């Protein structure tokens, strides 16, 4: 048992962490240089870590087999992941409960990646010169645009990696993330893209070490401020880094204090006040939780396995599975040659989206406190029916040629907004997705959904921060945007 | 949108609710009398609400059919619920992650109730003479011991009830619990018995009304203090009432202040301090959440449908499905005749446990703050692998004749404890379970699991209170015990 002398209140410790996170966010310079140095290090690290991805028909992928009965695509060892397909039916989402029975029922079929193992996305953190530094890795993935090196977590490991024959001995720093974990600032399972993954969950971890650790080739200690600055560079900070750092305590009154002195009355002041759990909010946290409960109760999400062979709405030509309309995404095969990896080449299926998406928060200052308009959203791969997503999350190309009424709510508001606080194209997990890019936007706009709109609510950053301590409330796209807002706070 | 003038901080509102809940808990007397009056009202209400339950072979239940292919037992309308069966495999629970691959794998088959609809368990609350009163219902269920009337929530409604042809018009007070809900003090989905139900979730609600409402026959306004006192009467406060009230804010510093003045240095003082989120705790909330994440990551729970016909380990004789050993539970048929209900008689299958269970919290004062020893527990019907259960939750009869090493941890500690703070036999949901009774205990004992024991942790009541704002952290047995401790605080 922890010695009683170590006992402390949760509140006291949490506010200590908030202050340390804020100090690191404000530090554009760390022990190992400033933002340019970090950028230069990544460029250097790219040499010797190149990756070359060639397209291959999915039936010619070495080591992968189609299941004869249903056409699912699996690795011959049974490991890694499989490409399967599901029939989806959503009922009641976006409708008030009274109307649920009569409202539109939406049905479709689609391929989906099944990767049931819970992996670890871990970042090691250490106080250096009194400031938290995060141990980042320069790493390439085959689906990264240009197969480029991106800023990645200390550890990305699947369970097969760390419980297999080698027990993960080949994965550096993994031991810091094994149970029992001590010094965890973040340790929570979160979902990933529910449109492409069936119930994929990863364990997001930030673990603090006291002692010095060896920094291996390809790794570097960076402050949060340096990482935040790099977030403005297209396709540079990878998705796993973004989700893990978004789960860090958001700064609370420490961030609020730092920003109010810097820009009283301005956007950053409003953003800082939004991080303060003591600031006034449009809805109480109880009201927000009740709204989420209502959405999860109202929405019936049925997701059933179905054969990939002859999947309704989809076609298979030249070893690529794509939608008849050319919209959404395709399943493609890739052959990968990698420099500087233990395994020099391999083949795998990947998901390739049809276009570049738009992922945006609409922001609004209400009584001087910045509020974020979140959307209660259902995706077939969610573990718990509904998660909170960005105000807008779509691929506008999927709506080309459709009537204006079919366009997602607030998409045009976002695209025409003048008060743009963040705007960068970032890419998604390059280990599974080929060239998946989204334009991440945060804009201020004067929109006003009805107070009892079943689908949208204004939340403060402190409320999102509170929800991020728990699993499956805030989706992966919204998590990236939370981190982008923190970057905008100090940018 | 809520008018800005109404904006307030979540903290301020929460502490206001804590104070009002505490005042109601301290009120042994309400507008309509004291504890004896409430008890007398229930006894009176029992007249005219009698229920008679007769056993019937499951294949002779009017309106119920066995599915020919798998033997599942369903209602001919497809409504209500069905009795199905599952093959369960649990891997890694209770084992550190390194040992998970080699640790014992547990496998079994069992019948299970499938009731996928999310029902409403709702209690209406109103401030009367400055004190919160809860609108309780005197209601009988066929499986209640002696088919007796119990203290039940204002509303217990399945979704079929309230979205069907009648839209629930026959369910009194239901409109207060329809979306959009306003004035919710509690609004959260929680699980029920994961050993008997497959992913059953109900929406637990406490909704405050400002205006006077008609009190129908069989209903009565009671204070929390009255209800807490009735909790000491065997089988009187029903399970649904217990789970809903356990989700109420736990009193925080208001309860702490009230109890410290009443019994400085004593058990109640320690209990009050435990409700205060500012009191020192053995583990920070971050450590507790990390421990839950580890348990949910480590445990692989596989639950697959399998035929009920010829279920391994189970037998069917004289229309009863029971385990070969006579342990665990049976599936039985019941014919019910009810007085004072719209439907005067019906038939249904029920689950009948083999014995009376023991459900207990071990308590310990650590630095003057009461801590509760919770157990990370996996049950086949849980939506998210692991929930926090009581220190002990078992039917001791299941271990008769087995070696002592097979007995559940802390069972003997609990049964031999001298400092007993709560001890009452209470019954479980009589709509599905026949005579399911458990002895609920809270005892102080000087046990000390290892600091890194993967299965047990010491938590304060404030920490349990925080977890109870979210779904699927605290199991239904532990929720009843949380309410029992609040009763012990003022008993």
Rounded to whole angstroms, how far apart are CA atoms A389 and B484?
A: 38
Rounded to whole angstroms, how far apart are CA atoms B151 and B374?
A: 27
Chain segment A326-381, per-residue pLDDT in tens: 999 999 999 999 876 666 899 999 999 999 999 999 999 999 999 999 999 999 99
Map out the domains of chain A as residue ranges.
Answer: 14-47+118-261
Rounded to whole angstroms, how far apart are CA atoms B419 and A69?
A: 62
Answer whether residue B92 shows pLDDT above 80: no
Chain segment A299-334, per-residue pLDDT in tens: 999 999 999 999 999 999 999 999 999 999 999 999
What is the average pLDDT score of chain B? Answer: 92
Question: Residue B284 is nearest to which of A13, A96, A383, comparing CB atoms?
Answer: A13
ipTM confidence score: 0.94
A188: which strand partners? A204
At B486, give phi and psi (nearest 5°).
-65, -35
Q: How confident is the model at residue B6 (pLDDT cuts 50, 70, 90)?
A: low
State residue A265's pLDDT score: 79
Chain segment A393-439, per-residue pLDDT in tens: 999 999 988 888 889 999 999 999 999 999 999 999 999 999 999 99
Q: Terminal CA-to-CA distance of chain B, rounded, Å?
A: 43
Q: How far is CA B457 from CA B104, B267, B448, in A?
A: 22, 20, 10
Q: How much is the average pLDDT of B134-143?
A: 96
Q: Provide, as residue numbers in chain B, all residues whose Cβ is less than 8 Å from the Cβ of A450.
A: 1
Answer whether residue B102 shows pLDDT above 70: no
Q: What is the number of residues in chain A?
A: 491
In A146-231, which residue ranges form alpha helices assigned H by DSSP? 159-163, 224-230
Q: How confident is the model at residue A103 (pLDDT cuts 50, 70, 90)?
A: very low
State residue A95's pLDDT score: 37
Nearest to B274 by CA among B197, B368, B208: B368
Q: How much is the average pLDDT of B2-11?
A: 60
CA distance A451 to chain B (A): 4
Q: How much is the average pLDDT of B292-310?
A: 95
A257, A474 Cβ separation under 8 angstroms = no
CA A157 to chain CA centroid, Å, is 16
Rounded to whole angstroms, how far apart are CA atoms A415 and A417?
A: 6
Q: How confident is the model at residue B2 (pLDDT cuts 50, 70, 90)?
A: very low
Share of residues in chain A with pLDDT > 90 (%): 82
Rounded to whole angstroms, how far apart are CA atoms A41 and B477?
A: 55
Side-chain-facing half-sphere of B7: CA atoms under 13 Å: 17
Which residue is it, tokens 């690191």?
A24
Rounded to whole angstroms, how far apart are CA atoms B196 and B354?
A: 13
- A106: helix, strand or coil: strand
Nearest to B121 by CA among B147, B145, B152: B152
Q: How much is the average pLDDT of A163-169?
A: 58
In A176-238, which residue ranges form alpha helices assigned H by DSSP? 224-230
A14, A157, A168, A180: best mutation site toward chain B, by most B Cβ within 10 Å? A180
What is the average pLDDT score of chain A? Answer: 92
Answer whether residue A166 shows pLDDT above 80: no
Rounded to whole angstroms, how far apart are CA atoms B106 and B299?
A: 11
From A95, which residue of chain B is nearest by alpha-carbon distance?
A: B179
Q: How much is the average pLDDT of B27-33?
A: 95
Q: How confident is the model at residue A168 (pLDDT cuts 50, 70, 90)?
A: low
Q: How confident is the model at residue A96 (pLDDT cuts 50, 70, 90)?
A: very low
Which residue is it, tokens 């009355």?
A265
More confident residue, A262 or B442: B442
A3, A5, A10, A457: best mutation site toward chain B, by most B Cβ within 10 Å? A10
Rounded to whole angstroms, how far apart are CA atoms B155 and B136?
A: 9
Q: Which helix (H) or strand (E) holds A113?
A: strand A105-114
Q: How confident is the model at residue B405 (pLDDT cuts 50, 70, 90)?
A: confident
Share of residues in chain B with pLDDT > 90 (%): 82
B395, B353 Cβ separation under 8 angstroms = yes
Q: Do B187 and A458 touch (CB under 8 A)?
A: no
Chain segment B146-182, per-residue pLDDT in tens: 989 999 999 999 877 776 655 556 899 999 999 888 8
Count Cβ neighbours within 10 Å for each residue of B350-361 and write b for 16 or more, e otherwise: bbbbbbebbbbb
Q: How confident is the model at residue A170 (pLDDT cuts 50, 70, 90)?
A: confident
Q: Do A384 and B9 touch (CB under 8 A)?
A: no
Q: Provide, as residue numbers in chain B, all residues whose Cβ is less than 8 Å from the Cβ of A10.
A: 277, 281, 284-286, 463
Q: How confident is the model at residue B98 (pLDDT cuts 50, 70, 90)?
A: very low
Tokens for B40? 């007398």
State residue A104's pLDDT score: 52
Question: Residue A448 is nearest to which of B1, B181, B296, comparing CB atoms?
Answer: B1
In A47-123, which residue ranges form alpha helices assigned H by DSSP? none
Rounded to whole angstroms, how far apart are CA atoms B245 and A304?
A: 36
Least confident of A124-133, B32-41, B166-175, B254-263: B166-175
Q: How much is the average pLDDT of B347-371?
A: 97
Q: Provide, as residue numbers in chain B, all residues whose Cβ is less than 8 Å from the Cβ of A294.
A: 179-181, 187
More confident residue, A92 or A93: A92
Q: Provide, as residue numbers in chain A, all residues whose Cβ is less than 8 Å from the Cβ of B468.
A: none
pTM for the model: 0.95
State residue B96's pLDDT score: 35
Answer whether residue B104 shows pLDDT above 70: no
Nearest to B249 by CA among B24, B21, B479, B486: B21
Chain segment B175-203, per-residue pLDDT in tens: 999 988 889 999 999 999 999 999 999 99
Chain segment A437-478, per-residue pLDDT in tens: 999 999 999 999 998 899 999 999 999 999 999 999 999 999
A14, A122, A290: best mutation site toward chain B, by most B Cβ within 10 Å? A290
Side-chain-facing half-sphere of A455: CA atoms under 13 Å: 15
Question: Residue A282 is nearest to which of B2, B96, B290, comparing CB atoms?
Answer: B2
Question: Residue B187 is nearest to which of A1, A293, A470, comparing CB atoms?
Answer: A293
DSSP state of B33: B
Strand boundaries in A175-298, DSSP class E: 184-191, 197-198, 201-208, 219-223
Rounded to whole angstroms, how far apart are CA atoms A17 and A482?
A: 18
Task: Indicate the Cα dihedral angle A276, A468, A229, A261, nearest 10°.
Answer: 0
CA distance B9 to chain A (A): 5
CATH class of A14-47+118-261: alpha beta
Question: Residue A297 is nearest to which of B1, B10, B203, comparing CB atoms?
Answer: B203
Size of interface A-B (CB pairs under 8 A): 164
């Amino acid at each position: 048992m922890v010695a009683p002398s170590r006992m402390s209140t949760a509140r006291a410790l949490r506010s200590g962490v908030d202050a340390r996170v804020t100090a690191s966010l404000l530090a554009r310079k760390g022990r190992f240089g400033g933002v340019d140095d970090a950028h230069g290090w990544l460029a250097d690290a790219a040499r010797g870590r190149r990756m070359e991805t060639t397209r291959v028909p999915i039936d010619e992928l070495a080591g992968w087999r189609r299941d004869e009965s249903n056409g699912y695509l699996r690795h011959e060892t049974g490991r890694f992941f499989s490409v399967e397909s599901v029939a989806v039916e959503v009922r009641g989402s976006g409708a008030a409960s009274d109307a649920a029975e009569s409202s539109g029922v939406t049905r479709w079929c689609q391929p989906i990646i099944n990767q049931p193992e819970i992996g670890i996305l871990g970042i090691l953190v250490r106080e250096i010169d009194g400031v938290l530094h995060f141990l980042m890795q320069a790493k390439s993935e085959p689906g990264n645009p240009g197969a480029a090196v991106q800023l990645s977590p200390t550890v990305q490991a699947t369970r097969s990696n760390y419980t297999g024959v080698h027990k993960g001995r080949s994965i550096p720093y993994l031991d810091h993330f094994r149970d029992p974990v001590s010094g965890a600032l973040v340790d929570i399972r979160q979902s990933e893209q529910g449109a492409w993954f069936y119930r994929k969950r990863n364990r997001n971890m930030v673990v603090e070490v006291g002692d010095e650790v060896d920094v291996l080739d390809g790794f570097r200690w960076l402050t949060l401020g340096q990482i935040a600055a790099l977030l403005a560079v297209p396709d540079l900070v990878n998705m796993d880094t973004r989700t893990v750092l978004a789960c860090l305590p958001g700064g609370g009154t420490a961030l609020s204090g730092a920003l109010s002195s810097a820009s009283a009355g301005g956007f950053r002041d409003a953003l800082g006040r939004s991080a303060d759990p003591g600031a006034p909010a449009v809805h109480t946290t109880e009201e927000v939780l009740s709204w989420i409960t209502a959405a999860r109760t109202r929405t019936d999400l049925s997701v059933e396995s179905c054969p990939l062979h002859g999947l309704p709405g989809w076609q298979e030509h030249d070893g690529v599975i794509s939608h008849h309309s050319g919209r959404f995404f395709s399943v493609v095969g890739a052959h990968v040659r990698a420099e500087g990896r233990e395994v020099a080449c391999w083949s795998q299926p990947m998901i390739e989206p049809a276009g570049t998406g738009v992922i945006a928060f609409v922001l609004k200052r209400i009584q001087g406190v910045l509020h974020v308009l979140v959307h209660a959203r259902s995706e077939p791969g969610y573990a718990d029916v509904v998660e909170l997503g960005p105000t807008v999350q779509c691929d506008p190309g999927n709506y080309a040629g459709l009537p204006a009424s079919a366009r997602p709510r607030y998409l045009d508001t976002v695209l025409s907004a003048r008060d743009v606080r963040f705007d960068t194209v970032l890419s998604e997990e390059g280990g599974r997705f080929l060239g998946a890019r989204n334009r991440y936007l945060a804009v201020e706009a004067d929109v006003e959904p009805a107070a009892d709109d079943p689908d949208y609510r204004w939340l403060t950053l402190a409320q999102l921060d509170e929800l991020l301590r728990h699993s499956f409330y805030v989706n992966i796209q919204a998590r990236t945007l939370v981190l982008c807002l923190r970057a905008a706070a100090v940018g």
